Amino acid sequence: MPMGDIEAANAVLATRYGPNRGALMPASHTLELWDGHPFQGGVQLSGSGYAPATVLPAAWSTPADRKTTALATFAAPTGAWVSVRYWLLRGDDGYVYDYGTPTSQVDVTAASATGPQVAVTVFYPSNL
Q: What is the pLDDT of residue 104?
A: 86
Our CA angle for 89, 23, 1, nearest 5°, is 75
Q: What is the pLDDT of residue 112?
A: 94
The residue type at 108: V
How far apart are the C-alpha atoms of 45 and 6, rounded to whole Å?
35
The percent of residues in the chain predicted with pLDDT above 90, rounded, is: 84
* CB distance 128 to 1 below 8 Å: yes
Q: What is the pLDDT of residue 50?
A: 97
The pTM (predicted TM-score) of the whole model is 0.90
The candidate with the shortest Cα–Cα distance to 97, out of 57, 64, 65, is 57
Q: What is the pLDDT of residue 126?
A: 72
pLDDT digits (tens, 9 = 90+) for 66-89: 999 999 999 999 999 999 999 999
The candidate with the shortest Cα–Cα distance to 34, out of 94, 117, 101, 92, is 101
* CB distance 28 to 53 below 8 Å: no
Per-residue pLDDT for 28 more than 90? Answer: yes
Q: What is the mean pLDDT of the chain?
A: 92
Per-residue pLDDT for 3 more than 60? Answer: no
pLDDT digits (tens, 9 = 90+) for 81-128: 999 999 999 999 999 999 999 988 898 999 999 999 999 999 988 765
